Structures are given as C-alpha cells and as structure tokens.
Amino acid sequence: MKKNPNPQGKGLVPVLRDWSAARPTGPTRKSAAEFLRDYCISSLVLAAHFKFRPVIGRTYYLYAGDVQWTLSLIGPDEWHDAPPGRFLAPCRLRPDMTWELDSQAFRDASAVASLQRFVKGFVNTIQGQESIGGELPYYAGNLPYYQRMLATGLARSLASSGADTGQVRALAASGQALLGLAREET
C-alpha cells in the first residue's frame, strides 16, 4: 500500500480551494456609511479568535471576553460550561465577504461597551490613515489562516464597492455613529 505523501491535506490545492471559497461574489455598490460599517464589523469578526472555516450564510455567535473576542459555532443557550465571554450577537458571513451582526440580540451591556470601545479605536485608526483603500487587508500576514483568507476577500469586496474613500474618511472624522448599533455615549 502506498503511503499518502500529504496526509494533512496541506499544499497548493487546499489553499486554492479556500481562496475560491473566500472570493467575494456579487459585491454591490456601497455608500460611504455602508463601506465604513461593513469594514468595521468585518474587522471586528476577523479579529476574533476562531479555528474553523466560516460558511456563507451560516449563523455564528460573537462573544466579548476580557482579553479577546471569540467567534463560535455554539449559541449562548447551548453551552454546557461557561461561554468564552459575554454574548454580543449572532453574525453571518455574506456572499460579498463582509459580516453582518444581528443588532437586535445585544443583551449584555458590558459586551456592548466592549463593542463601543472597538468602534472608537477603529475610527481612530481610520482617521490616521492616508488612504482607506490603500489600507485594506489584502494580505494580513499576522492573522491565522482562515482569517487571512477572509480578510483578503473582504479587501477585494470593499475595493470594488465603489465607495468614495474621501467620503469614508470624512464620515469617520465627523464622529457620526458608525454602526447604528454602537451609539456614542455623551
């Protein structure tokens, strides 16, 4: 019997398969507000810890821990032990490789406060960039494999969205509510 030279399935073929799965399909034109919202939410989800390949349209669950965010296949009511943090919201990967959060599910005030801190930090980062389009995560080598693939798909999707990056920067600089779900506290 011949031994399999690649028992873990590593190599070019799986990478190309995963890249094909992470390619945006049907990106639509986005306003500056939609671009900024999708970039922020998607960056949040891609910054979360997970070790699985997300599938378009499937519901996942985002948790805010003390140290890191976690994206899980397990819902807040399905844990036998303690969840990996405070439940924030269910989320889904869209065909254009952006993520959406179900804002109706926000139950935990401290998780929402964590989201607000992330949004403020994201806006501060955006304001410091010369060109938002030039800073899209085409290859984020610091990310784990699946997050890196999805970040590349996100960058391609947002780059082809047709949003005016000048308007995006102006929107971020104006301090307007970015997500419509993480309102600035006054």
CA 68 to chain centre: 14
Answer whether residue 146 is part of any domain: yes
Answer whether residue 29 is part of any domain: no
Answer whether residue 111 is part of any domain: yes
| Parent domain of 84 | 49-174
Distance CA(77)–CA(126), nearest Å, equals: 36
Answer whether residue 159 is part of any domain: yes
Answer whether residue 120 is part of any domain: yes
* Average pLDDT of adjacent 10-residue blocks, the chain of 186 residues: 66 66 71 83 91 92 91 94 91 92 80 81 72 67 81 83 72 58 41
What count of other Cβ atoms lies within 10 Å of the Cβ of residue 67?
7
Answer whether residue 179 is part of any domain: no
Query: Quick one: pLDDT at residue 186?
Result: 32
The CA–CA distances, whole Å, from 51 to 32, 45, 60, 71, 176 equal 32, 13, 13, 9, 34
Answer whether residue 74 is part of any domain: yes
19, 149 Cβ separation under 8 angstroms: yes
Answer whether residue 126 is part of any domain: yes
CA 104 to chain centre: 18
Distance CA(86)–CA(69), nearest Å, equals: 9
Locate 178 and state its tokens. 């970015």
Distance CA(118)–CA(43), nearest Å, equals: 10
* Domains held by the chain: number: 1
Query: Quick one: pLDDT at residue 181?
Result: 44
What is the reported pTM?
0.78
Q: DSSP alpha helices (H): ranges in the chain?
A: 12-21, 32-47, 109-127, 145-159, 165-174
Element spanning 61, H or E: strand 59-64
83, 59 Cβ separation under 8 angstroms: no
Query: Quick one: pLDDT at residue 145?
Result: 81
